[in-house]
Amino acid sequence: MSPHGGGKPTGQLLTAINTKFGSFEEFQTAFTQAAIKVFGSGWAWLVLNKSGELDIITTPNQDSPLMQALYPVMGTDVWEHAYYLKYRNQRAEYLKQWWNVVNWDEVNRRYVKGLGQNS
Q: What are phi and psi of 57, to 5 degrees?
A: -135, 165
Instruction: Using DSSP, state whether 100 is helix, strand or coil.
Output: helix
Map out the domains of the chain with their CATH numbers.
11-118 (3.55.40.20)
Answer yes or no: is pLDDT of 92 > 90.
Answer: no
Q: Is the pTM of this model over 0.85?
A: yes
Q: Which helix (H) or strand (E) holds 84?
A: helix 84-87
SS3 81: helix
pLDDT class of 118 with cuts at 50, 70, 90: low
Whole-number Å distance between alpha carbons of 57 and 47: 7
Can you say whether the dihedral through the CA atoms of 66, 1, 117, 23 is positive or negative? positive
Which tens digits make up the pLDDT trace of 15-71? 999 999 999 999 999 999 999 999 888 999 999 999 999 999 999 999 999 999 999
